[in-house]
Structure 1
């Protein structure tokens, strides 16, 4: 007697919130492995005008923070790239490579040697060009190779930025959302009160940008493993996918079949006798709002089951069909599919 294996890929659920931007749901299960070695980690450290207190305050933990993040997201022996960035003017180039390699002592020295940049021939601190920094980092340090850009910044342009630079930065922010190869952007706000001679700040921002699908997959795994921080980051991109995760909690045993998660952790395998009468499989679980830091006010939910491109007559349904008031990071009451 033959047995047929149906793999129900939990990737077909669609979410259409009525009070938020449209989004599709990707149902995934967490994998705590860190980033693969084929993905290069590039650490960009801002050293322009507004960053003055992070470099001059004797109590600043800015560089120890960068070192700690490197240790959290990289495996021992992984190649890392460290570069400072501000704005290229004359002989002052940005981004500027500080170190490339995998020696811990050299990493510490490279961070120690990064200091505030000034405009050539002037006492004024350098301005900031984020687009130049990201473009330069990808094309110079990781051409044709997936990478994660870790950007340490106070989230401000320099005080003397020209209108042209400000316009380029606005254009850059639009480009980030529209560029397909930048698949994911998240932000980790980190409190760090600092006070310098000219400026003061209450914290620093760490952005992580995934360039290429392998980098996106690696970044998702790092976040699931709570690296580099325990707290969930704010997601800035994508804004139309991965809104919620379906967390299965059990299967109602009502017939001659078995159910289990596949080896990839994201496929539900239903095994039953194809020659027997039709079976009904009821899967219980909860939806978790992973669209941090946004709350979902309401959303319509639908379910489709596909096997090798078609449904093969398999009927599917989900109850309830509407999600209501799901705060960020929280789960819905039990649902059945």
Structure 2
């Protein structure tokens, strides 16, 4: 690191300061330390600054801590040796105290000339720590062009960042999404770990929509399938000429046999993109499936292998995917009434699995490393571990059933009809009615209401019957034997 400190034009300390300022936020604990290799009586790393970041920028404190930083030497004047693994291990155990966080490491990625020849072994230990250390969940490297000259010369600088534990990985993901670091370091990060997750991504470029189903890609990358509520019933009926496997007839409604869930199928064209810079996927087998409502349904792919896919490059991939709509509420269900004018959402995912995966460093990256670190063998740290032979990528999927207002309007119409009927009945029940009865040859006109009973008496005052009135008419009940009583004249 000697020329990075002694060259008057060196931007090394300024770069460190800007990375620190981009990485931290109020509330973060910040520790700056220099490192080389521990010696008796001279432990490494050595703390330069320990502070809690508040709303005030720590720029002045960081600049002051870096100002006195100079090339480390061993007793006797020789330049100090380097131990990257020791530096990261002590940072995890002491600076972080075993807690989650981010560790940043700035180095020229090599030892001083004519120094400790055990450097190669320590580099292998560094490699093992990164790839096999359980607490290191993610690791990125930024090879940067920074030519400096002093007693020695250098063309490049390497910045590593290690995410410790799951929370640290989430912090690193959030930092990379924020774009703050990219304002300081414009070079893409080289991924060191993990090499078995998100090595590729699926980008839909063409979808042949099924009748009643429309596909779209959302700004967050989610693939959305909007299904008309009426399409569920259409899917349940056999479709003329539709193949059972959705192959040649993909793009038509897929019929279902008795007892089978209704499905829709569509042909989707993708770009399969390599996202694992700086590695080329020399070969891998691929398969895909959709995960919806607990059902895992295979997706038919136009190819089952990927070969020679360079980082950042993509290759076309066709597929046939079925959407189970039987899990969505029917058009006339209570759920449909509740969701009238909106949609019921069924979240899911498309999972892409790579197996028998073989990775190698891209030629472009090899050439870049040779230019930044001339004469140095390519570090083992960029050699993919042999046990990484598979990876998995996930594309969020959202199936939405759109419901119109018809079910709600039908329900409201029915309620209105019932209310009208109830009102009519109430009006009829409250209306006074005239009825004529004849008792022993005498015609009488009575006034009565529905739901009432009225006794009838002869001339002597004896009860001879009872007149009962309902919504539907009048009846005589409790007739005395021999009594001459009838309705009407």
- What TM-score does the superposition give when structure 2 sets the normalisation length? 0.52
Cα distance in 1 for residues equivalent to 2:204 and 2:293: 23
Contact 1:187–1:235, Cα closer than 8 Å, also in 2? yes
Q: CA deviation at 1:244?
A: 0.9
Distance 1:316 1:165 in 2: 49
| Cα shift at 1:86 | 0.7
**Residues 130/297 of structure 1: CA separation in 2 closer, same or farther (3 Å cut):** closer
What residue is the counterpart of 1:92 in the other structure? 42
1:169 to 1:333, Cα distance in 2 relative to 1, 3 A: closer
The 2-side partners of 1:268 and 1:189 are apart by: 35
- 2:99 alignment counterpart: 145
Superimposed CA distance per residue, residues 96-140 of structure 1 (whole angstroms, 9 cap, x where no aligned partner): 111122322101111112222222x42222221212111111111
Q: Which position in structure 2 is the counterpart of 1:247?
A: 203
Higher relative contact order (CA 8 A, sep 6+): 1
Give matches, 1:113-192, under 5 Å: 113-119=68-74, 121-159=75-113, 161-164=115-118, 166-192=120-146
Unaligned stretches of 5+ in structure 1? Answer: 1-50
- Deviations 1:270-305, CA, capped at 9 Å, x for gaps: 454566522113433311111212223443321112
Match of 1:318 among 288, 301, 304: 301
Cα 1:217–1:287 shift into 2, 3 Å: farther
Are 1:256 and 1:279, in contact at CA under 8 Å, matched by a contact in 2?
no
Aligned partner of 1:237 among 164, 181, 193: 193
Alpha carbons 1:194, 1:201 under 8 Å: kept: yes
Q: Structure 1 pair 83/246, CA: closer, same or farther in 2 (3 Å)?
A: same
How well do the aligned residues superpose, as a CA RMSD in angstroms?
2.7
Deviation at 1:172, TM superposition (A): 2.9
The change in CA–CA distance for 1:216 and 1:261 in structure 2 (over 3 A counts) is farther
Q: 1:105 aligns with which of 60, 70, 81?
A: 60
Q: Compute the displacement of 1:94 (Å).
A: 0.9
Match of 2:32 in 1: 82
Distance 1:74 1:249, change over 3 A: farther
| Deviation larger for 267-276 or 209-218 | 267-276
Contact 1:298 1:324 in 2 (8 A): yes
Q: CA deviation at 1:215?
A: 2.2
Alignment-derived partner of residue 54 in structure 1: 4
Taking a change above 3 Å as real, the CA distance of residues 336 and 191 of structure 1, as seen in their structure-2 partners, is: same
Where do 5+ consecutive residues of structure 2 fail to align?
236-262, 321-489
Shift of 1:246: 1.1
**Equivalent residue, structure 2, for 1:200:** 153
CA contact (8 A) 2:271 2:315 kept: yes
Aligned to 2:162: 209
SS at match of 1:59: coil
- 8 A Cα contact 1:297 1:326, kept in partner: yes
Number of aligned residue pairs: 282
Q: Distance in 2 between matches of 1:296 and 1:315?
A: 23
Q: 1:333 to 1:221 in 2, by over 3 A?
A: farther
Q: CA deviation at 1:310?
A: 3.6
Answer whether contact 1:255 1:280 (CA < 8 A) is retained.
Answer: no
Q: 1:217 to 1:266 in 2, by over 3 A?
A: farther
Cα separation, partners in 2 of 1:94 and 1:319, compared to 1, 3 Å: same
Would the alpha carbon gap of residues 177 and 83 (structure 1) be closer, same or farther in structure 2, given more than 3 Å must change?
A: same
Alpha-carbon separation, structure 2, partners of 1:167 and 1:325? 32
User: Could you say if the C-alpha distance between residues 93 and 334 of structure 1 is closer, same or farther in structure 2, counting changes exceeding 3 Å?
Assistant: same
Find the residue that maps to 1:72 and give its secondary structure.
Answer: helix
Aligned to 1:24: none
- CA deviation after TM superposition for structure 1 residue 239, in Å: 2.9
Q: CA deviation at 1:145?
A: 2.1
For the structure 1 residues 74 and 335, does the alpha-carbon distance in structure 2 shift closer, same or farther, using more than 3 Å as the test? farther
